[in-house]
Structure 1
Amino acid sequence: MAERDLNRAPTIAVTGPSRGAFGPRFLVACAIRWYGGKPLQLRPGDPWRQHRYDGVVITGGHDIDPVLYTAEPEVVPKYDPERDALEAAIIDDALAHRLPLLGICRGAQLLNARRGGNLYQELRSRRHKTSHRRTVLPLKTLDIVPHSRLADLLGTERAQINSLHNQAINQLGQQLQVSGRDLDGIIQAIEDPDHPFLLGVQWHPEFLLPIRRQRRLFQALIEAASKRV
């Protein structure tokens, strides 16, 4: 077994679209650097297999193609097939090698799909206690499952989160557990308790970095990745 390089910062792959999304990816990179990691930005078309990385962040963005969870489109499509292909491959690689992985919004949804789960393609009809308004501000209440990894990380049973999604997890993928829901019961966080670090959150913690408990998601990812260096 190779000795760990204690002087090497863990490299974290950060995925995203070919164009745009500069703000979210910049903030994710800032959080990674904050806790001693090195972000590696990967886009569709990049030779990602040539890179070495110790953890992964799948960022938010457009809806994933429902073909990835064997469903027909129920809404006006706004998909990014090249990004879907890249991120599906990186998630599969991370799962195969048990790399620490944080899925954000779309990233959580795609993680669930790669484990065999599916999605609600629209949420407006399922929201009765919460607003459908999209906002980066922490205006939505998150109920956290006690004794979950998420509960340990955030250190609370309730937290305030933002909301930028119009789809969400329906049926869970294999070996995944719900660790958080909003007040309408819509899944807001998933995790695999048997994995070194596998967490998907429906909100965008990168927009909430001034809140310490939100930064802990990135801190825990870096700590798990550091054990692989």
Structure 2
Amino acid sequence: MTERPLIGVTTSRQSGWRIFPLVALNLWLAGGRGVRWVAGRPSDIATVDGLIIGGGDDISPDLYGGEIITSARLDPDRDAMEQCLVEEAMARGKPVLGICRGAQMLNVALGGTLHEDAYGVYTASDRHWTILPRKEIEIVPDTRLGRLAGVRPMRVNALHSQAVKELGAGLRIAARDTGGMVQAVERVEEPFALGVQWHPEHLFYAYRQRALFRALVAAARAGREARNQLPVVSDLAGA
């Protein structure tokens, strides 16, 4: 039996102990396995087949030239670790799934910027703060996310205050909410990389959410076998 691809999963030092088991469950259901990484402890991209940047505190605007707002909760050590991991993953051809903060970090690590107060900018966006799927998003047609999860409107959860502003290099928008705020980004070239603004790990009962983890694990397996990842993910979408 082929060994399950190993995925490094970054978490916060405060809440990671309760979030990581959910992410690990989703990875296991998708055919992978996870290892938890936190700032201040070893994290080596060479030892894993793929990477998940998990949710948590806001990303410091020092990374993208923004301005600090008083309500921001920051973790500079985690910022530095995750930025380095994303850059190394791209350089080594390792696939990445960004979850909430992770989607923002994927964008920032590739040279993009963020709205520090996303709902102050997108005043027409429905503001929710819940792990329940109450926020409606619209998936962009002809995207990898659309092929994986379908393009009909999707209900997701929401636990964020920041959002993507200017896109990082090689990324495109894959979903927005009904007020126009970016809700997903994806890389257009190898290796596979997808960032979603919501928390799919809490929605493991939904087939469309499990598809995101299946795509990451399939890409990780392909990368480990020195195969192109995007065709494998496309084949998975058509399965």
Q: TM-score range by the shorter chain?
A: over 0.9
Deviations 1:55-110 (A, max 9, x none): 00000000011001122213433101111111111111101112110001101101
Deviations 1:142-190 (A, max 9, x none): 1111010000000233211111101101111111100100001000000
Deviations 1:123-147 (A, max 9, x none): 2323444332301111111111101
Mapped to 1, the partners of 2:68 and 2:175 lie a distance apart of 26
2:106 aligns with one of 108, 111, 118: 111
Q: Which is helix-richer, 1 or 2?
A: 2
% same residue: 40
Distance 1:50 1:93, change over 3 A: closer
Please state if 1:70 is matched with 2:43. Answer: no
Q: Is the 8 A contact 1:146 1:157 kept in 2?
A: no
Q: CA RMSD in A?
A: 1.5
Q: Secondary structure at the match of 2:127?
A: coil
* Structure 1 residue 38: Cα displacement: 1.6
> Moved runs in structure 1, 4+ residues, more than 6 A?
none
Q: Look up the match of 1:42.
A: 37
Q: Secondary structure at the match of 1:70?
A: coil
Higher relative contact order (CA 8 A, sep 6+): 1
Q: Look up the match of 2:48.
A: 53
Residue 187 of structure 2 aligns to which amino acid in structure 1?
A: D
Unaligned residue ranges in structure 2 (runs of 5+): 225-239
1:19 aligns with one of 5, 8, 14: 14
Question: Taking structure 1 as the reference length, what is the TM-score of the superposition?
Answer: 0.93
Mapped to 2, the partners of 1:80 and 1:130 lie a distance apart of 27
Deviations 1:26-48 (A, max 9, x none): 11110111122120111112221
1:200 aligns with one of 195, 201, 204: 195
Residue 223 of structure 1 aligns to which amino acid in structure 2?
A: A
Q: Secondary structure at the match of 2:73?
A: coil
* Structure 1 residue 24: Cα displacement: 2.3
Q: Look up the match of 1:102.
A: 97
Q: Look up the match of 2:147.
A: 152
Q: Secondary structure at the match of 1:162?
A: strand
Mapped to 1, the partners of 2:72 and 2:175 lie a distance apart of 28
Q: Look up the match of 2:231.
A: none
Question: Taking structure 2 as the reference length, what is the TM-score of the superposition?
Answer: 0.89
Aligned residues: 224
Q: Is the 8 A contact 1:142 1:183 kept in 2?
A: yes
- Correspondence 1:72-221 to 2 at 5 A: 72-221=67-216
Distance 1:142 1:50, change over 3 A: closer
